[in-house]
Amino acid sequence: MASEEPKLQKRAGKAAYSGRRRPSTRMSGFKSHSEATGGSLRRLPSKVYRASPQSPLNIDFILPEIASGHFSGFGFYYRSDVTVSLQSNREWFSSRFHTNYEDPLSVNKCGFIWQAEEPNDFRITLTPSRATDIEIFNAECGEVWHDFFEGARDNVLKNIHTFAPEANFYTRFGEVVIGATAHEKPFSVVVKECNRCARFLPINLPAERHTLSFSNHCVAKRPCRHKGFGIVNDLDKGVFVELEYGFQLECRFCKKFVVNAALNPQRSADQMKEDSQRRRYFELMIAEMSGVSEQLAFRHKTGVELASFIWEKFGKKCFKCGDRLRTAREMHLDHTRPLALLWPLDETATALCGSCNSTKRDRQPKDFYSQTELVELSKFTGIPLPELLKPLPNINVLKALIERCDWLVDDFLNQDFLKKEKDGKTSAELICKSLDRVLKISELDFGDFSFSKKWNDHFLA
Ligand SMILES: [Zn+2]
Ligand SMILES: [Zn+2]
């Protein structure tokens, strides 16, 4: 059954995991699919089986031998126009393993991931309340592993089953036997692309709230107008479809293990606070070094406040979702290019609403905006598209910092609040380390110049 599913369903997932377990950090094996926008949907065929209360549909899963420390998993999607009850010949099976959307148009999912070293086989029986057709999509089982499991916290792994079947990255397939003859139903299951793993995974339309592989973007009652979330590109029909609630760009697995993990890589609240502090120090450093802050310099140049200028330029609307921003104060200014690469808040900033700004957080533009939006953003901000796709360090600021290195170590970093030690490190040291990283990314040849070294020399002197 598994091998008969369309190639598309497996293509990118295959690329996103490695069959071998190797010592790795959380980020290794991470592949970003820049061509995937998360805004496309298509339809894939399902298999249809006749079943009745007297002759229910049996699905047998025969798992391969599972490597030590790896997971076993199974999963499938099903749909019927009547109530279907699910049982197993194994005691561990429960109703927690599947959704129960009683809607003839909605697909349900069923799946589990568990840690077991023994090979296993079991049967799931689907009994409809009367004789009818049951549609089955993507019934699979096997050994499950993903590099991201390696670095995940224990309590996340303990609940990994709640991400089945979208987290079922099979490294070795088992056998699935369905005890009835099937006919294919083309264009049956609506699948949406994940902008991270680029897999197409099922969603329910029109019952968007019957979520499967993607969480809703908006759960408010009003229609979701968030661009890139509320509008999806129907690839089969060649039209854009407007959704009511919209879906997250990332599948539930990627949201949990890639996006949230990258934004918050096992960090404590304290560390988060330190991060935002370091951001403030960067802002302060650039502003002080310029003699006047870029924002002030801009005000001098045009006589207009930066905020009102950006607000007007973006049509008093959030660039991402288009929500009205009634005042400039209501707007959140986004740096567009990362502050960590020394880009201060200036006339290239982006106008966002509070909700979009907090969703974006430290994400790179290419990880937050669609291709179309990036082209539009490039026009608004004047930042060339290639730079939005791959931001480079702000060379002018970097050069100025090197030229004015004495000011940096003697004056700026020499302030008491930057020299306070915490866990054996000072903010001054951490700022130097970050600057050395920027230096490295810039790929400019500054010989063996190092901010950390300058700071240490200053300390020893
Ligand atoms: Zn994904
Ligand atoms: Zn917004």
Between residues 259 and 70, the one the model is more confident about: 70
Q: What is the pLDDT of residues 327-347, one digit of tens each?
A: 888 888 899 998 889 988 888
Q: What is the pLDDT of residues 113-172, one digit of tens each?
A: 988 766 689 999 999 999 999 999 999 999 888 877 776 767 677 788 889 999 999 988
Q: What is the pLDDT of residues 207-265, one digit of tens each?
A: 988 999 998 877 654 554 554 456 778 888 888 777 878 888 889 988 887 766 655 44
Distance CA 395, CA 445 (A): 12
Question: What number of H helices and E strands is found in the chain?
Answer: 16, 17
Å from CA of 355 to ligand 2 middle = 6
Which pLDDT belongs to residue 198?
81
Pairing of strands 231-234, 40-51: parallel
Q: Are 137 and 99 in contact (CB under 8 A)?
A: no
Which pLDDT belongs to residue 28?
26
Å from CA of 136 to ligand 1 middle = 22
Distance CA 33, CA 40 (A): 14
Å from CA of 391 to ligand 1 middle = 24
Å from CA of 321 to ligand 2 middle = 4
Beta strands in 294-416, from DSSP E residues, in sequence order: 332-334, 350-352
DSSP state of 152: S
Q: Is the peptide bond before 6 cis (omega within 30 degrees of 0)?
A: no
Which pLDDT belongs to residue 88?
94
Which pLDDT belongs to residue 375?
93
Q: What is the pLDDT of residues 320-329, one digit of tens each?
A: 988 899 988 8
Instruction: Calculate ∠ Cα 102-108-109, nearest 5°.
Output: 150
Å from CA of 332 to ligand 2 middle = 9
Tokens of 321: 């979702």
Which pLDDT belongs to residue 299?
57
Tokens of 233: 């590109």
> How much is the mean pLDDT over the chain?
81
Distance CA 255, CA 111 (A): 19
Cα separations in angstroms, 235 against 39, 198, 200, 229, 334: 10, 14, 12, 16, 32
Q: Give the ligand whose atoms come closest to the C-alpha of residue 229.
A: 2
Distance CA 110, CA 134 (A): 14
**How far does Cα 31 stand from its chain's mean position?**
12
What number is the average pLDDT over the span 354-367? Answer: 82
Angle formed by the axes of helices 294-302 and 269-289, to 10°? 50
Share of the chain above pLDDT 70, in %: 80
Q: What is the pLDDT of residues 434-461, one digit of tens each?
A: 999 999 988 788 888 999 999 988 877 6
Å from CA of 282 to ligand 2 middle = 26
Between residues 92 and 110, the one the model is more confident about: 110
Among all chains, which residue has been given the structure tokens 């959380």?
26
Q: Are 165 and 49 in contact (CB under 8 A)?
A: no
Torsion of CA 146, 150, 151, 153, to 10 degrees: 100
> So where are the chain's domains?
2-263, 269-389, 395-460
Lowest mean pLDDT among 57-61, 271-275, 309-313: 271-275
Which pLDDT belongs to residue 118?
66
Among all chains, which residue has been given the structure tokens 């699905």?
59
Reduce the DSSP state of residue 92 to 3 states and report it. Answer: coil
Å from CA of 259 to ligand 1 middle = 10
Between residues 307 and 16, the one the model is more confident about: 307
Q: Are 78 and 133 in contact (CB under 8 A)?
A: no
**How far does Cα 369 stand from its chain's mean position?**
12
Which pLDDT belongs to residue 111?
96
Distance CA 461, CA 414 (A): 13
Which pLDDT belongs to residue 263?
53
Q: Are 341 and 441 in contact (CB under 8 A)?
A: yes
Q: Are 77 and 109 in contact (CB under 8 A)?
A: yes
Q: What is the pLDDT of residues 379-438, one digit of tens each?
A: 999 999 999 998 889 988 898 888 888 889 988 898 888 888 877 888 899 999 999 999
Q: Give the ligand whose atoms come closest to the C-alpha of residue 314.
A: 2
Q: Are 365 and 377 in contact (CB under 8 A)?
A: yes
Lowest mean pLDDT among 36-50, 287-301, 424-438: 287-301
Q: Give the ligand whose atoms come closest to the C-alpha of residue 226.
A: 2
400 by Cβ neighbours in 10 Å (0-12 / 13-18 / 19+) ranks as: middle
